[in-house]
Amino acid sequence: MELFEIAGAKWLEQDIARIVVSRDQIARRIEELAGEITECYRGKELTVLVLLKGSVVFLADLIRRLPLKIRLEMMSASSYPAGAVDSQELRFAVPAEAELAGKDVLIVDDILDTGRTLRAICQEVKSRKSGSVRTCVLLKKDRPETVDRIEPDFCGFAIEPEFVVGYGLDFNDLYRNLPDICTLQPHVLTGRFGGNGSAGRTGENLGD
């Protein structure tokens, strides 16, 4: 497996178990997503609200393919405090200075898991009297047991409920620079969590 065509990357490649979504698949799907979003917002000004940090690579590739007038707002959200392996209290804040009233807002996130994070943010944006609110996620986990999960308006890929990194997604703030979306070797996860592996972490650092 050659993730990087440069010397010195072997240590990184040794941490990777397999590629879930390749860089070529990502590029093709982003072109398709851009077409879908453009058709939806044609002739309109769009406010894109992105969740940091995992979505930044996806966002950068996506918005450069949107021939629209775009305003960009950024926010952070977390349900995994440092060192936690289970989703805990959700914390987020839509920027107070963000001008959302009357705007068409597209929320961009990396992973949809339980949907708790995305639902809460949608409710907050709607409370700011936005004109419309839609969602776009890079990955959606297959969670048939999750009842009444919010479904994204635009989705890159549906994947199994497993922990993935790369293309902006991290583990302990590492691996965001991988060009493909990958799973990690078990020794990487067990080394971080002292033998518990990824038992409580089946998604990216939000995974919610």
Taking the C-alpha atoms of residue 146 and residue 111, their distance in angstroms, rounded to an integer, is 15
Q: Which of 15, 61, 113, 208 is catalytic?
A: 113
Measured CA to CA, the distance from residue 167 to residue 156 in angstroms comes to: 13
Which segments of 53-117 are extended strands (E)? 69-78, 91-93, 104-112
Distance, CA of 103 to CA of 46 (rounded, Å): 7
Using alpha carbons, select from 59, 87, 72 the residue that is nearest to residue 154. Answer: 59
Measured CA to CA, the distance from residue 15 to residue 200 in angstroms comes to 20
173 is catalytic: no
Enzyme catalytic residues: 113
